[in-house]
Amino acid sequence: MTGRRRGRRRNVDAPPALVIAPALIGIVFLVLPTLGLLIRAPWSSLGAIYADTEVADALRISLVTSLQATVLSLLFGVPLALVLARQRLAGIGIVRALVLIPMVLPPVVGGVALFLALGREGFVGRYLDQWFGFTLPFTQHGIVLAQTLVAMPFMVITMEGAFRTADRGLEEAAATLGASRSRIFTRVTLPLVVPSLVAGTVLCWARALGEFGATVIFGGNVPGSTQTMPTAIFTAFQTDPQNAVALSLPLLIVAVVILGALRDKWLRPVASS
């Protein structure tokens, strides 16, 4: 499509004047906090702050746990999404609603719920403890679980939509060519949904990286062990807000990098296959 044609279409598609003012307010509101972060960042003392605090540990723990949570979400969320999208079964709608609850549940509540289920006294956790001597709360495994609980629904919902809209005709064609169901899934269906897979993975990872509520309840906040970037920022903010600003900058950089990486795959209006 040429620029000239798009220019002409804009006359018809242009938003009405009515929405311009609220849209502008929306832009200001969304951009202002980021600007504030950049303006008030203690640029000159950044080095000292990073050297003083456990930021390196927190960043490392955040990256490791959020990536593990993303891998878990891929391993379990993608198959779950396929089942939700394709399994014709009474009650599948209820299953969908149940598994998506953590997405709308306040993460703090998710953390409490995790505690009740998998804590040392939890109705599942106590057997893990008794039989295997395995405890989850206040460990990095616990953090990974807390992040997975909150982030996986984003993977599920993204991939379920992708599996629903993937061209079933291509799967039929593959079947007539003698491909088994698993071969159709790996060689046809999955390649077709790669853009959604990328979007879902990044969305899921970003959510895991920023996870605070469930993490702080179930994982704790011990520097060097279970303190992630968000919990470190929270701790710093209570004692020295300048440090909190400095710690926030790496996460802002991550956010910008994600947006940049997704610019082609995700932010552009959906490309036809």
Partner 1 sequence: MAAAGGLVMTLTVDASLTQGAFMLTVALRAGPGEVVAILGPNGAGKTTLLRAVAGLLAVDSGTISIDGDMLDDPARAVFVQPAQRRIGVVFQDHRLFPHLRSVDNVAFGLRAQGMSRTRARASAHQWLDRLGLGALAQQHPRRLSGGQAQRVALARALACCPRALLMDEPLAALDVQTRAEVQGELREHLGAFAGPTLLVTHDPIEALLLATRIIVLENGQIVQQGTPAEITSRPVTPYVARLVGMNLYAGTATRGFVALDGGGELVVSEAIDGPAFVALRPSALTVHVAEPHGSARNVWPGTITSLAPLADRIRLTVAGPQTVLVDVTASAVADLNLVPGRAVWLAAKATDVTAYAAGPEAHVQNA
Which residues sit at the interface with partner 1, rule CB under 8 A? 167, 169-170, 172-180, 183, 187-188, 191-192, 194, 273
Dist. CA 242–CA 45, nearest whole Å? 10
Cβ proximity to partner 1, 187 vs 263, nearer residue: 187
Helix (H) or strand (E) holding 151: helix 140-165
In the bound complex, what is the minimum distance in angstroms from residue 172's beta carbon to partner 1? 6
In the bound complex, what is the minimum distance in angstroms from residue 88's beta carbon to partner 1? 15
In the bound complex, what is the minimum distance in angstroms from residue 188's beta carbon to partner 1? 6
In the bound complex, what is the minimum distance in angstroms from residue 190's beta carbon to partner 1? 10
Dist. CA 72–CA 247, nearest whole Å? 27
Cβ proximity to partner 1, 159 vs 217, nearer residue: 159
Dist. CA 120–CA 52, nearest whole Å? 34
The dihedral sign for the CA sequence 263, 267, 269, 272: positive
Q: Name the DSSP letter for residue 212.
A: -
Spatial contact of 126 and 164, defined as CB atoms under 8 Å apart: no
Helix (H) or strand (E) holding 15: none
Cβ proximity to partner 1, 32 vs 177, nearer residue: 177
Cβ proximity to partner 1, 40 vs 187, nearer residue: 187
